[in-house]
Amino acid sequence: MRRAYRFEFEKGGLKYTCPQCGKARLVRYVDTATGEQVADHAGRCDREDSCGYHLRPSEFFRLTGKRPCRVTMPTYRQKRPTPEPSFIDVAVMRASLARYEQNNFCRWLCGVLGEERAFELTALYRIGTSKHWAGSSVFWQIDRANRVRGGKVMLYDVATGRRVKEPFAHVHWVHRLMKIEPYHLRQCFFGEHLLCLDTLKPVAVVESEKTALVASGFIPEFIWMATAGKQNLNKEKLTSLQGRRVKLFPDLGAFERWQSLSRGVAGVSVSDVLERRATDADRAAGLDLVCTFKLRAMGVFYANPG
């Protein structure tokens, strides 16, 4: 059962001009009792890190003195049962573990870690090569039972190691490319299958797959896993790590959310090393530079724990 809320974000993916940053990234609130939008500027900008605009309906009504119409809301609404996760055939995953000379990410990783270590980690994390875009890679999400929950196809620039985001974000999912329907994508951590290989090693959680790989190369004292997306960390996933020593390394801007998620989960702590050390230039440079910066910062952290 899930609480029925009077106001919810509008569904359907429509984005409006944000009153703060001027980009078309505002998701508006809808009054579920009337189906109407609350106001043009009542909503949340999805540029969480760079803009952060959020005007809640309660705040809107407080500021304007307006009142929503009176209705009796049902207290609870039946929650749709969560479907069982779908899996990709392991043979499909295995077939992708080849053609690394055409894999931009792995070629870039060789330059960062040296060929031997890069290939070792590529094999450990089972990074595949995709034909979808020339040079693209598959980041498989394999769970603790060695089942393949999904494969995220991404294209990186071979020289800079940055994601190719122009003229569009080069991200796709294997099940969609293979047109497997219906497919219930239930993401696990990227690198989750490594938990069973060493049950004593402490676990470190970062946001991006790339950071997990590079960090494994430099700081092998941890099992590095990635949430594979800012919003992908939740209480359920963290609770599943109970019994392990876990350190979360949030990207800039995610510290508070990750910290509140970790509250009450035994063994999980959050590193604020990035938040403390970040300069305005680091913040302005955005996420891809953060990876490099993070390693420098974590190196310091690791030399002086606590």
In the chain, the DSSP E strands lie at 2-3, 7-9, 26-31, 43-45, 76-77, 127-129, 137-142, 148-154, 171-173, 203-206, 223-226, 246-248, 268-270
Residue 38 CB, nearest approach to Zn ion (Å) = 17
Query: Considering beta carbons, is residue 8 or 49 the nearer one to Zn ion?
Result: 49
Q: Using the rule CB under 5 A, is 248 a contact of Zn ion?
A: no
Question: By CB under 5 A, which span of 10-18, 64-72, 92-100, 138-146 interacts with Zn ion?
Answer: 10-18
Q: Using the rule CB under 5 A, is 21 a contact of Zn ion?
A: yes
Q: Report helix, strand or coil for 192.
A: helix
Query: Considering beta carbons, is residue 41 or 162 the nearer one to Zn ion?
Result: 41
Residue 223 in tokens:
């099992």
Query: Considering beta carbons, is residue 59 or 115 the nearer one to Zn ion?
Result: 59
Q: How far apart are CA 296 and CA 290, in angstroms?
A: 10
Query: Considering beta carbons, is residue 47 or 283 the nearer one to Zn ion?
Result: 47
Q: How far apart are CA 30 and CA 37, in angstroms?
A: 4
Q: Using the rule CB under 5 A, is 18 a contact of Zn ion?
A: yes
Q: How far apart are CA 195 and CA 198, in angstroms?
A: 6
Handedness of CA 235, 154, 16, 54 (dihedral sign): positive
Q: Which of 6, 17, 20, 39 binds Zn ion (CB under 5 A)?
A: 20
Q: Using the rule CB under 5 A, is 45 a contact of Zn ion?
A: yes
Query: Considering beta carbons, is residue 49 or 89 the nearer one to Zn ion?
Result: 49
Residue 230 CB, nearest approach to Zn ion (Å) = 16
- Going by C-alpha positions, the residue among 242, 243, 195 that lies closest to residue 222 is 195
- Going by C-alpha positions, the residue among 184, 177, 195 that lies closest to residue 138 is 177
Question: By CB under 5 A, which span of 15-23, 119-127, 179-187, 264-272 interacts with Zn ion?
Answer: 15-23
Residue 202 in tokens:
């402490």
Question: By CB under 5 A, which span of 20-28, 36-44, 119-127, 134-142 interacts with Zn ion?
Answer: 20-28
Q: How far apart are CA 172 and CA 139, in angstroms?
A: 10
Q: How far apart are CA 120 and CA 172, in angstroms?
A: 25
Q: Which of 29, 53, 87, 140 binds Zn ion (CB under 5 A)?
A: 53
Query: Considering beta carbons, is residue 24 or 178 the nearer one to Zn ion?
Result: 24
Q: Which of 33, 39, 51, 112 binds Zn ion (CB under 5 A)?
A: 51
Question: By CB under 5 A, which span of 13-21, 30-38, 114-122, 223-231 interacts with Zn ion?
Answer: 13-21
Residue type (1 letter), 120 = E
Q: How far apart are CA 202 and CA 246, in angstroms?
A: 6
List interacting residues with Zn ion (CB under 5 A): 18, 20-21, 45, 47, 51, 53
